Chain A
Amino acid sequence: GENVEQHPSTLSVQEGDSAVIKCTYSDSASNYFPWYKQELGKRPQLIIDIRSNVGEKKDQRIAVTLNKTAKHFSLHITETQPEDSAVYFCAASMDSSYKLIFGSGTRLLVRP
């Protein structure tokens, strides 16, 4: 089955700096890649997603890039703010199932 690996597991950046989180997936049939932000004890919140027919997508300070050949995708957050501090999960799914397979998460700390 699909396996998603995510790194780093923790990331500490200074406010205003950029943060990059990377994920790789194993099943080439996966074609939908969302990113979720989760604060402690709260629900995962979708922040951006990308489908396999697109290489890059941007929404204000957040962008996601996808390399289908290498089977990896990345989340880029620019001009980080303390409120960006949370756990970020990447995930993958495919049309045959739609279930989300999550990466292990990255704890992002933005230092004021």
Chain B
Amino acid sequence: AAGVIQSPRHLIKEKRETATLKCYPIPRHDTVYWYQQGPGQDPQFLISFYEKMQSDKGSIPDRFSAQQFSDYHSELNMSSLELGDSALYFCASSLTAGPNNEQFFGPGTRLTVL
């Protein structure tokens, strides 16, 4: 079965640079979520999109923005990168109308800011 795809899998950036993370949800899933997981931490919700519209916003810095495109893939744009942005970034997708709204996670993008 198709799973959530994320690219790139690894990314190394310098401070103050920008980064773009991409997420391709499971086909026919209508909701995409972004989570940030620091070392030894639990995943923290950043932002979500339902049918290409932002549906909820969590602890996402103003330096970050995200959008969902017409083909349902989503991109997380991160500017003025800081050392503290180094983390695993997970995208998850779900079918909101499904019985439990189960979220399926992608493999993650490991971002390292030097």
Listed in ascending order, the chain A residues whose CB lies under 8 Å from chain B are: 32, 34, 36, 41-46, 49, 51, 89, 93, 97-105
Residue B64 CB within 8 A of the other chain: no
A93: chain B residues at CB < 8 Å are: 101
Digitize B64-98: 1 where CB-to-A-CB distance is under 8 Å, 0 elsewhere.
00000000000000000000000010101010100
Contacts of A46 in B (CB 8 A): 102-104
Partner of A102, one of B42, B104, B110: B42
B108 within 8 A of A: yes
Do residues A98 and B42 form an inter-chain contact, with CB atoms below 8 A? no
Chain A residues, CB < 8 A from B45: 99-101
Q: Do B100 and A49 touch (CB < 8 A)?
A: yes
Closest to A102 in B: B42
Complex CA gap A105/B37 in Å reads 12
The answer, yes or no, to whether B105 is at the interface (CB within 8 Å) is: yes
The chain B residues found within 8 Å of chain A, CB to CB, are 31, 33, 35, 41-45, 48, 55-56, 58, 88, 90, 92, 94, 96, 100-108, 110
Instruction: Identify the closest chain B residue to A93 (Cβ).
Output: B101
A-chain residues with CB within 8 Å of residue B43 when the two chains form the complex: 44, 89, 100, 102
CA distance A89 to B92 in the complex (A): 16
Q: How far is the CA of A32 from the CA of B102 in the complex (A)?
A: 9
Minimum CB distance partner of B45 in chain A: A99
- A51 — nearest CB in chain B belongs to which residue? B100
Number of A-B contacts defined by CB within 8 Å: 59
Q: How many Å from the CB of B68 to the closest CB on chain A?
A: 15
Who on chain A is nearest to B110 by CB?
Answer: A41
A37 to chain B, nearest CB (A): 11
Cβ contacts under 8 Å, A105 to chain B:
42
Which residues of B are found within 8 Å of A98, using beta-carbon distances?
A: 31, 33, 48, 55-56, 94, 96, 101, 103
**Which of these, B42, B92, B94, B108, contacts A104 with CB under 8 Å?**
B42
On whether the beta carbons of B102 and A97 are closer than 8 Å, the reply is: no
Besides A98-B101, A100-B92, 14 other A-B contacts (C-beta < 8 A): A34-B102, A34-B103, A36-B105, A42-B107, A43-B106, A46-B102, A46-B104, A89-B42, A97-B55, A98-B48, A98-B55, A99-B56, A100-B33, A101-B45
